Structure 1
Amino acid sequence: MSILESVVIGAGQAGLSASYHLTRLGIDHVVLDADAEAGGAWRHRWDALTMQDVHGVAELPGSAPPPRNSERANMAVPAYFAEYEHAHALPIVRPVRVEQVTDDDGILVVHAGERTWSTRTLVNATGTWTQPFMPHYPGMETFLGEQLHTVDYPGPEHFRGRRVLVVGGGASAVQFIGALAPITDTLWATRREPVWITSDFTPEAGAAAVALVEQRVAQGLPPQSVVSVTGLMLRAQEREAERRGAYAARRPMFSRIEPDGVRWADGAFERVDVILWATGFRPAISHLAPLHLRSAAGGIQLDRHGRGTTAVGDPRVQMVGYGPSASTIGANRAGRTAARGVQHQLAASGALQDTDRTISLR
């Protein structure tokens, strides 16, 4: 089997951006995607989420972004990705679910069932959607109602007439409450007091938030989301829930879950029909475990003080959509940085002999 110059795992925003830039550099690669069709995690979002509701989808390199309108996001973004893949003839193979990546005498081997790909470098763009995080609380297995995570959210109509406890202090929790409070009884619980943005979210504020995430990955700590350090803000579609007092009634976390509800720390009981866990995701990187990339602090340390994409533990591996690049804008930039990282590693190892391919990406 021939040895590729690079393999990209994942065909979401970060993976497509990386493939685009690798193609421009003439680097022989394939993109392995677990889904049967284009769209990445966007294919699995709930039907009620429209392009007007999302924070925004940054344009992929060399294209215009999809319009902000009433079209379902789980249809508009996959269509945008599919058109992009076709327009740029990106070398995508699907469906391929990568199980592990191993090292065979200096060559990386990507395993997916009985299929393997050998490569000199790797760009990991697997995101977080496949790794929902749900904390454990005493008694949660005894709950007789319904427990759902963000990844399972079916849209607001599913909850009409049911008492819903939303758990989590991030943007998803705020959006769920905004959609549910006008049509049903909602409660909100978080571990910490929410921090609200009281002024316009400027580019400077965004850069400062990203810098905090960069500091974590530079130290090899597990990354936090950018939203977790920016604070929360309400959009126009959440003002009705605010008017109803849904956000002001936030409670600290309960101490245990009982069959019909939750028991608060002060001993009071609250009946609920549904617990909606908006408790976030973790990076989907278990397939990289054989490479031993994690630092003693539990995360994958990246180069350039957390602003790069090269894994410090193994410079053959680029991490995109991880840490500070876990947003559509950040993913695009990371794709370009990763392509440069691949180019640099190939040149350093002597595998990139063609000087025409050592051009700079602009």
Structure 2
Amino acid sequence: MNNVDVVVVGAGQAGLSAAYHLRRAGYEPGSGFVVLDHSPGPGGAWQFRWPSLTYGKVHGMYDLPGMRLTSDDADAERPSSEVVSAYFDRYEHTFGLRIVRPVHVTAVREGDGGRLVVETSAGSWSARALINATGTWDRPFWPRYPGQETFRGRQLHTAQYPGPEAFTGQRVIVVGGGTSGVQHLLEIAEVAAETTWVTRRPPVFREGRFDEIRGRAAVAMVEERVRRGLPPQSVVSVTGLPMTEAMLRAREKGVLDRLPMFDRITPTGVSWDDGRTVDADTILWATGFRAAIDHLAPLRLREPGGGIALEGTRAVRDPRIHLVGYGPSASTVGANRAGRAAVREIQALLDTVPAVV
């Protein structure tokens, strides 16, 4: 059993921010804290993004604390997966964070003496507190619809999106009203024989600058849901879709003409109860992700509403557990702030509770 004060699970933006602030607070990597990451290399979920998502298309990527992502490193034409992974790699080495990877955390349980036991694929860690920064990429959400298993074409999720070239000459249905769905739709429309956009609710487009006032209002709405113990909403569901020049052009061409959600899937496409049908070769589910927190289940942190209620980053049901990059801190700037806030609270907690090994 490896003993540390704090275990950080996940080495994306939120996890690296937490690790940075742990070091600044005097906790040493390896003895005071450890960062466990199941990915094969640096970059968090960014390393798995599709090649056509260049850095210039990324909305609102903020610097990690203590190190800028300079214009020399952030070539707008390079895939974001390369730019961000290289930046995270440099960050890990600059601050000597000593990430342990690839390690898969299977469960977090109550241990002896008020400590937590973090079970992993590479042994167990005993800790006084835990910062969970596992994000959502590992839990793609696949809605279920009647007839789904009969479809003779291809079905894939954003997590498997290979880029637009794979859809050349095809009839493609893109399901989902979020940013990723629109990005996929715009790319695929350039090469596909036909695209159809389907969403559960009419999309809301946001024109004008997303300023600080709008940002605070959006965060407050997400915070309120988390405070009530409900699963957090996506950012787009609160802020709306930014109307970019590319989207304006697509709207003029009819690419953004949206259909309501279909009622069933057929062997050759989809259909609605009013008799409308659309044939397709591929259905692309851009339907979002869920928080990857199943390993926390033994601690019974969930509320009746299905989510984990937080005060700031701290789990209401257990002050030793902090969630960063969850709910209101899911944005890159929010993740940075959440890492600092979590470390401050954990430090205050550990200073008042005697260590028991």
Q: For the superposition of Structure 1 and Structure 2, which TM-score range results when normalised by the shorter chain?
A: over 0.9
**1:164 is the counterpart of 2:172:** yes
Deviations 1:47-104 (A, max 9, x none): 1110001113210001112525111111110000000000000131111010011111
Match for 1:160: what amino acid?
A: T
Deviation, 1:206, is 1.1
Match of 1:232 in 2: 241
CA distance in 1, matches of 2:98, 2:318: 25
Report what 1:134 is aligned to. Answer: 142
Aligned residue in 2 for 1:29: 33
Partner of 1:317: 321
Counterparts in 2 of 1:180 and 1:241: CA distance versus 1, 3 Å: farther
The within-5 A match list for 1:262-273 is 262-273=270-281
1:357 alignment counterpart = none
Distance 1:189 1:130 in 2: 24
How far did residue 330 of structure 1 move? 0.5
Using the alignment, how far apart are the partners of 2:59 and 2:240 within structure 1?
14
Shift of 1:219: 0.8
Counterparts of 1:169 and 1:316 in 2: how far apart (Å)? 36
Which position in structure 1 is the counterpart of 2:42? 38
Match of 1:16 in 2: 16
Q: Which residue of 2 aligns with 1:355?
A: none
Per-residue CA deviation, residues 327-349 of structure 1 (Å, 9 max, x unaligned), is 11110000101111210220231
Tell me, in whole angstroms, the C-alpha distance in 2 between the residues paired with 1:68 and 1:239: 25
Corresponding position: 1:343 with 2:350: no
Q: Which residue in the other structure is 2:5 paired with?
A: 5
Q: Distance in 2 between matches of 1:2 and 1:155?
A: 42
Alignment of 1:58 with 2:94, yes or no, is no
Q: Secondary structure at the match of 1:317?
A: strand
For 2:307, which of 279, 284, 299 is the aligned residue? 299
TM-score (norm 1): 0.93
Cα distance in 2 for residues equivalent to 1:139 and 1:151 = 22
What is the distance in 2 between the residues matched to 1:317 and 1:269? 49
Instruction: Assess if the C-alpha contact under 8 Å between 2:40 and 2:102 holds in 1.
Output: yes
CA–CA distance in 2 between the matches of 1:178 and 1:268?
24
Contact 1:182 1:240 (C-alpha < 8 Å) held by counterparts:
no
Task: Give structure 1 stretches of 5+ with no counterpart.
Answer: 353-362
Query: Compared with structure 1, are the counterparts of its residues 170 and 46 closer, same or farther at alpha carbon in structure 2 (3 Å cutoff)?
Result: same
For 2:24 and 2:78, the matched residues in 1 are separated by 32
CA contact (8 A) 1:182 1:241 kept: no
Equivalents in 2 of 1:348, 1:227: separation in Å?
Answer: 40
**Does residue 1:250 correspond to 2:250, yes or no?**
no
Letter in 1 for 2:213: E
2:78 to 71, 74, 77: 71
User: What's the CA shift for 1:302?
Assistant: 0.5
Aligned mates of 1:294, 1:139 — CA distance in 2: 33
Give the alignment partner of residue 215 of structure 1, picking from 208, 217, 224: 224
Please report the TM-score for the alignment, with normalisation by the length of structure 2: 0.94
Assess if the C-alpha contact under 8 Å between 1:20 and 1:61 holds in 2: yes
Whole-Å Cα distance in 1 between the matches of residues 2 and 231 of structure 2? 35
Point out the more displaced range, 179-188 or 129-138.
179-188
Runs of 4+ in 1 over 3 A off after TM superposition: 237-240
Q: Which runs of 5+ in 2 are unaligned?
A: none
Check the 8 A contact 1:29/1:91 in 2, yes or no: no
Counterpart residue identity of residue 104, structure 2: R
Please state whether the residue corresponding to 1:99 is helix, strand or coil. strand
1:69-108 aligned within 5 A: 69-105=76-112, 106-108=114-116
Q: Output the CA distance in 2 between the equivalents of 1:114 and 1:24.
A: 27
State which of 118, 121, 124 in structure 2 corresponds to 1:116.
124
Distance 1:169 1:114 in 2: 39
**1:163-215 deviations in whole A, cap 9, x for unaligned?**
11010111111111111222221101111111111332211111101110000
Distance 1:51 1:238 in 2: 18
Out of 192-201 and 73-82, give the one that drifted further.
192-201
How far does residue 265 in structure 1 lie from its aligned partner after superposition?
Answer: 2.8
Taking every aligned residue pair, what percent have the same amino acid on both sides? 55
Deviation of 1:114 (Å): 5.2
1:360 matched to which residue of 2? none
State the one-letter code of the partner of 1:166. V
Greater mean deviation of Cα atoms: 266-275 or 136-145 = 266-275
C-alpha distance in 1, partners of 2:161/2:180? Answer: 10
Aligned length: 347
Deviates more, 1:290-299 or 1:171-180: 171-180
Q: Which one-letter code corresponds to 1:102 in the other structure?
A: R
